[in-house]
Chains A and B, each alone.
Chain A
Amino acid sequence: MSAAATHSRWPARGHAGFWAFAVHRVSGVALALFLPAHFWALGQAIQGEAALDGFLSWAERPSVRAAEVALVVLLAAHLAGGLRLLAIELLPWSDRQKTILALAAGFTLTAGLAFLLNLR
Chain B
Amino acid sequence: MAATTLDIALWRGDAAGGAFQRYRVPAAQRQTVLDVVTWVQRHVDSGLSYRFACRVGMCGTCAMTVNGKPRWTCRTLVDAAAKDGRLEIAPLANLPVVKDLACDMTAFFDKWRRAEGRFRPAPGLGGDFAVVPPESAARRQAEAGIECIGCAVCYSACDVAAWNSDYLGPAALNRAWTLHNDVRDGAGAARLKAVAGDAGCHSCHSHQSCREHCPKHLNPTASIAGLKRATAWAALKGEI
Asked if A and B bind, the verdict is: yes
List the interface of chain A (C-beta within 8 A of B): 1-13, 15, 17-18, 21, 85, 88-90, 93, 97
In the complex, chain B residues whose CB is within 8 Å of the CB of A18: 159, 207-209
Stretch at the interface among B43-51, B111-119, B183-191, B218-226: B218-226
What residues of chain A lie closer than 8 Å to B229, measured between beta carbons?
A: 89-90
Interface residue? B214 (CB, 8 A)? no
* A17 proximity list for chain B (CB < 8 A): 206-209, 211-212, 221
Partner of A88, one of B15, B90, B206: B206
| B residues in contact with A2, CB < 8 Å | 93-96, 162, 165
Chain B: interface size category: 35 or more
Q: Give the shortest distance, in Å, between A89 (CB) and chain B (any CB).
A: 5
B225 touches A88 (CB 8 A): yes
B228 lies within 8 A of A89 (CB) = yes
Taking CB atoms and an 8 Å cut-off, the chain B residues in 194-240 that contact chain A are 205-209, 211-213, 219, 221-222, 225-226, 228-229
- A sample of 5 inter-chain contacts (CB < 8 A) reads A2-B93, A2-B96, A6-B13, A15-B208, A90-B229
Q: Is B88 an interface residue (CB 8 A)?
A: yes
Q: Assuming the A-B contacts A9-B162, A93-B226, are A3 and B92 also in contact, with contact meaning beta carbons closer than 8 angstroms in the complex?
A: yes
Measured CA separation A93–B15 after assembly (Å): 39
B72, CB-defined interface residue at 8 Å: no
B interface residues with partner A (beta carbon < 8 Å): 11, 13, 15, 17-18, 65, 67-70, 88, 90-97, 103, 107, 156-157, 159, 162, 165, 205-209, 211-213, 219, 221-222, 225-226, 228-229
Contact A21 B162 (CB under 8 A): no
Contacts of A90 in B (CB 8 A): 229
Q: Are A21 and B205 in contact (CB under 8 A)?
A: yes
Query: Nearest 8 pairs between A and B by C-beta?
Result: A11-B68, A17-B208, A93-B222, A6-B90, A7-B90, A15-B212, A1-B96, A3-B97
> Which residues from A are CB-within-8-Å of B226?
93
Contact residue among B18, B69, B165, B228 (Cβ-Cβ distance under 8 Å from A6): B18
What 16 additional pairs, Cβ within 8 angstroms, besides A2-B96, A2-B165?
Answer: A1-B15, A2-B162, A3-B95, A6-B18, A6-B93, A7-B65, A11-B67, A11-B68, A12-B69, A12-B70, A15-B208, A15-B209, A18-B208, A88-B206, A89-B229, A93-B219
User: Once bound together, how far apart are the Cα atoms of A1 and B95, in whole Å?
Assistant: 7
Give every chain B residue within 8 A of A8 (Cβ-Cβ). Answer: 68
CB distance from B11 to the nearest CB of A (A): 5
Q: Is the CB of B88 within 8 A of A7?
A: yes
Q: Do B96 and A9 touch across chains, with their CB atoms under 8 A apart?
A: no
Give chain B nearest CB distance to A19 CB in angstroms.
9
B187 to chain A, nearest CB (A): 23
Q: How far is the CA of A88 from the CA of B94 in the complex (A)?
A: 25
**Distance, CA A2 to CA B162, complexed state (A):** 8
A11 with B69: CB separation less than 8 A: yes
User: Which A residues lie within 8 Å of B107 (CB)?
Assistant: 1
Residue of A nearest to B65 (CB): A7
